[in-house]
Amino acid sequence: GENVEQHPSTLSVQEGDSAVIKCTYSDSASNYFPWYKQELGKRPQLIIDIRSNVGEKKDQRIAVTLNKTAKHFSLHITETQPEDSAVYFCAADDYNQGGKLIFGQGTELSVKP
């Protein structure tokens, strides 16, 4: 089955700097890769996702890149703000097979003003 590894587990940046979180997956059949943001005591919320037919997707300050050959994908946040502080989770599944979304262990991002 799918296994998703996420690094780093904690990340501290200065406001305005960029943050990068990386994930690897094991199942080459996976074709859908979402990223979720979870604030303390809240539910995970989708911030961006990418399908395997594209290599990069951007939404304002957030971008995700995917390398299917290497089986890794990354989240890039530019011009970080204190409100970006949260735990971020990557995930992967093969939705065409009625997939179950498998999550990474999470990255706690802290943006210092």
Partner 1 sequence: GAGVSQTPSNKVTEKGKYVELRCDPISGHTALYWYRQSLGQGPEFLIYFQGTGAADDSGLPNDRFFAVRPEGSVSTLKIQRTERGDSAVYLCASRSGRSGANVLTFGAGSRLTVL
Identified binder of partner 1 from the candidate list 13, 49, 65, 68, rule CB under 8 A: 49
Q: Judged by CB under 8 A, which stretch of 11-19, 54-62, 69-77, 95-103 contacts partner 1?
A: 95-103
Residue 98 as a binder of partner 1 (CB under 8 A): the answer is yes
Q: Judged by CB under 8 A, which stretch of 12-20, 58-66, 76-84, 96-104 contacts partner 1?
A: 96-104
Q: Judged by CB under 8 A, which stretch of 11-19, 60-68, 73-81, 99-107 contacts partner 1?
A: 99-107
CA distance 16 to 94: 35
> Who contacts 43 (Cβ-Cβ below 8 Å, separation ≥6)?
none
Nearer to partner 1, 46 or 54 (CB): 46
CA distance 82 to 93: 31
92 and 28 Cβ atoms separated by less than 8 Å: no
Q: What percent helix, strand, coil does the chain show, rounded to 5?
A: 5, 55, 40
| φ/ψ of residue 31, rounded to 5 | -140, 10
Residue 113 as a binder of partner 1 (CB under 8 A): the answer is no
Contact residues for partner 1 (CB under 8 A)?
A: 1, 6, 32, 34, 36, 42-46, 49, 51, 89, 95-96, 98, 100-106
